[in-house]
């Protein structure tokens, strides 16, 4: 896999951290005898609202040699690689077969990985093969219900008290704005919060979001504060509006034969 030295990555991730992440990816390849095809930043640093001490959420897709997949007990084999968080670096990955199976189901994680602006490495095939399929194969309904559930869960779990963890507002606002994007554009929502903010037309709410964003990016991950009433009222109104959401009429789906072809090409190239 070729390292990616994009301007966005360079500006967002310090060189020593990038080097350490690359060393850990290379160590995972050696330890598990795999080839990493694609590696990205997937958390708040990719979303654009990281705190100074936010974790580095590194996610990757890897492939074994072809014979690994030609096994009677393939279904019993482990298809993830996970490591404990060390020095704020949280790194884990999925086998390419698992990644493609989940992509076929419009799994939000793999869809967001493909949207990440912070790419550590790219073999030039995995992401390039799948990104065009997002147009015809992504399920808007699955995206909408995923983001609504995320917003509802985080709001009820973290923002109902008089004193709240401020960063949790963004774990509610980001999915709610993603829903607006999906309904307005009828396409995959970007993961960058700045892009999603274009969907927020309520002036007072946007002003409060921007003030809170400045606080979030300059404070500790555990920073707490009183409820922001304007935001709570906005969130409650949005959740109430979507309470009885009627699924869209759609027929988006990915042809499994096309994914099979991509899979065979990727594992052959991984030798």
- Render pLDDT for 101-119 as a digit per residue (tens, 0 to 9): 999 999 999 999 999 999 9
pLDDT recorded at residue 52: 86
Same domain, 60 and 146: no
Same domain, 59 and 186: no
pLDDT recorded at residue 201: 95
Same domain, 28 and 106: yes
Strands 163-165 and 224-226: antiparallel
- The helix/strand/coil state of 219 is coil
Instruction: Give the span between the Cα atoms of 216 and 117, in whole angstroms.
Output: 20
Same domain, 111 and 25: yes
pLDDT recorded at residue 160: 87
Same domain, 148 and 46: no
Q: Is 26 inside any structural domain?
A: yes
Q: What is the CATH number of the domain that holds 11?
A: 3.30.460
Kindly state the DSSP code that residue 86 receives in the 8-state scheme. Answer: B
pLDDT recorded at residue 221: 75
Q: Please give the average pLDDT of every successive group of 10 residues along the chain, which has 271 residues.
A: 82 93 97 97 93 93 96 96 96 98 96 96 96 92 96 94 90 97 96 97 96 87 87 97 92 88 93 71
Instruction: Give the span between the Cα atoms of 216 and 47, in whole angstroms.
Output: 13
Same domain, 119 and 162: no
pLDDT recorded at residue 219: 81
pLDDT recorded at residue 224: 86
Domain that holds residue 38: 2-137+254-269
Same domain, 111 and 29: yes
pLDDT recorded at residue 88: 95
Instruction: Give the span between the Cα atoms of 271 and 267, in whole angstroms.
Output: 7
Q: Is 201 inside any structural domain?
A: yes
Same domain, 106 and 227: no
Q: Is 247 inside any structural domain?
A: no
Apex 263 CA angle, 66 and 74, nearest 5: 50
How many structural domains does the chain have?
2
Same domain, 124 and 154: no
Same domain, 54 and 179: no
Same domain, 43 and 126: yes
Instruction: Give the span between the Cα atoms of 20 and 60, in whole angstroms.
Output: 15
Same domain, 14 and 52: yes
pLDDT recorded at residue 162: 85
Task: Give the list of residues 6+ apart from residue 131 with CB closer than 8 angstroms, or none.
Answer: 114
| Cβ contact 117:196 at 8 Å | no
């Amino acid at each position: 896999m070729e390292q990616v030295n994009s301007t966005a990555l360079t500006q967002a991730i310090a060189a020593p951290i990038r080097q350490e992440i690359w060393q850990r990816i290379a160590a995972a390849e050696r330890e598990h005898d795999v080839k990493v095809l694609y590696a990205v930043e997937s958390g708040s640093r990719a979303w654009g609202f990281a705190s100074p001490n936010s974790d580095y959420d590194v996610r990757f897709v890897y492939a074994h040699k072809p014979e690994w997949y030609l096994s009677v007990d393939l279904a019993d084999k482990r298809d993830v690689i996970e490591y404990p968080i060390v020095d704020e670096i949280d790194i884990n990955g999925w086998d390419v077969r698992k990644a493609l199976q989940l992509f076929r189901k419009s799994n939000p994680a793999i869809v967001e990985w493909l949207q990440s602006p912070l790419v550590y490495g790219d073999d030039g095939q995995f992401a390039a093969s799948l990104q065009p399929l997002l147009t015809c194969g992504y399920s808007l309904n699955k995206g909408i219900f995923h983001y609504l559930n995320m917003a509802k869960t985080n709001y009820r779990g973290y923002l109902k008290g008089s004193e709240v963890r401020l960063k949790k507002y963004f774990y509610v606002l980001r999915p709610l704005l993603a829903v607006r994007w999906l309904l307005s554009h009828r396409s995959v929502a970007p993961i960058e919060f700045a892009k999603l903010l274009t969907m927020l037309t309520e002036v007072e709410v946007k002003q409060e979001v921007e003030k809170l964003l400045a606080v979030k990016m300059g404070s500790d991950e555990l920073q707490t504060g009183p409820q922001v009433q304007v935001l709570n009222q906005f969130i409650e109104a949005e959740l109430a509006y979507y309470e009885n959401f009627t699924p869209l009429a759609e027929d988006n789906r990915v042809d499994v034969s096309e994914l099979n072809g991509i899979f065979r090409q990727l594992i052959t190239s991984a030798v």
